[in-house]
Amino acid sequence: MFAQAASGDRDLSEFGAHYAPGLAGPIGAEEGKGPRDEAGLYWSHVDVPGAFAPSHESSFDAYYRWRIDEALYVQPELFWFVDPGGRRDIGDATVLFLRVGLAL
């Protein structure tokens, strides 16, 4: 488990307060018996000051990392943004990623 918190000068920054808890951890193979998969969830909430666009933005992130072997993984990931950039006049956004990692 982890959490983040930050605050910016509301007169100068596009973002005010930022809060973000998350959870990530290993899944799968027993320790010492090969690579372990990993999964994670993350929620982020940003306050957008009135000088820019008085609103909030929230995002949700979920991923699953499949370990192919010690050096290679494949990780699909889903992001969902609610009121992107604090703007309610545009729709929510969904972003799909497919990451591939290789350690040499």
Residues of the chain with pLDDT under 70: 10, 13-14, 29-32, 34, 49-54
3-state SS of the chain is CEEEEEECCCCCCCCCEEEEEEEEEEECCCCCCCCCEEEEEEEEEEEECCCCCCEEEEEEEEEEEEECCCCEEEEEEEEEEECHHHCCCCCCEEEEEEEEEECC
Q: Average model confidence (pLDDT) for the chain?
A: 85
Report yes or no on whether pTM surpasses 0.95. Answer: no
Per-residue model confidence as pLDDT tens digits over 68-80: 988 999 999 999 9
